[in-house]
Copies of this chain bind each other. A is one copy, B any other.
Amino acid sequence: MTNNYNPIDYTLSYQYDRRLYRQDIAGSIAHARMLGRQGIITQADVDDIVRGLEEIRQEIETGSFPWKAELEDVHMNIERRLHDKIGEAAGRLHTARSRNDQVSTDVRLYTKDVIRQTVAGLKALRQALLDRAANSQGVILPGYTHVQRAQPVLFAHHMLAYFEMFTRDAERFRQAYARADVMPLGSGAMAGVPYNIDRYTVAGELGFTAISANSMDAVSDRDFLLDFQSAAAIAMMHLSRMAEELVFWSSEEFGFIKMSDTYTTGSSIMPQKRNPDYAELARGKTGRVYGNLMGLLTMMKGLPMTYNRDMQEDKEGFFDTVDTLIPTITVTTGMIETMELRPKRMYEAAQASNVLATDIADYLVEKGLPFREAHGIVKRLSAYAVEHGKKLHELPLETYQKFSMHFEGSVLALSVESSIEARDVPGGTAPARVDQALAEARERLKAEHAL
Contact = CB atoms under 8 A, between A and B. Distances in A.
A78 interface: no
A270 B193 contact: no
Given A161-B306, A189-B151, A2 B124 contact: yes
Interface in A266-291: 267-278, 280-281, 283-291
B192 A428 contact: yes
Contacts of A200: 426
Interface string A316-349: 1100000000111111011000000000000001
Interface string A357-400: 11101100100001111010011001100100000000000000
B302 A240 contact: yes
A300 B168 contact: no
A9 B152 CA distance: 33
Tallying the copies of this chain within the complex gives 4
Contacts of A440: 213
A162 B180 CA distance: 18
**Chain A at the B interface: SS class:** helix
B230 A362 contact: no
Given A193-B423, A271-B383, A306-B145, A370 B10 contact: no
Interface residues of A, number: 177
A233 B168 CA distance: 20
Contacts of A171: 179
Interface in A1-34: 1-2, 5, 7, 9-11
A149 B193 CA distance: 16
A274 B289 CA distance: 35
A312 interface: yes
A449 interface: no
A247 B147 contact: yes
A437 interface: yes
A427 to B, nearest CB: 5
B308 A284 contact: yes
B309 A146 contact: yes
Nearest to A313: B284
Interface string A188-231: 11111111010110000000000111111111110100110010
Given A7-B330, A269-B379, 14 more contacts: A147-B250, A157-B191, A160-B213, A187-B427, A191-B423, A193-B425, A213-B426, A213-B437, A216-B429, A230-B233, A272-B353, A286-B302, A290-B301, A298-B301
28 contacts: A1-B117, A2-B330, A88-B370, A143-B191, A144-B305, A145-B275, A146-B276, A146-B309, A149-B252, A157-B216, A163-B214, A187-B427, A192-B427, A213-B441, A226-B234, A240-B302, A248-B248, A248-B253, A270-B358, A270-B382, A272-B353, A275-B309, A280-B309, A285-B313, A286-B302, A287-B296, A290-B294, A291-B293
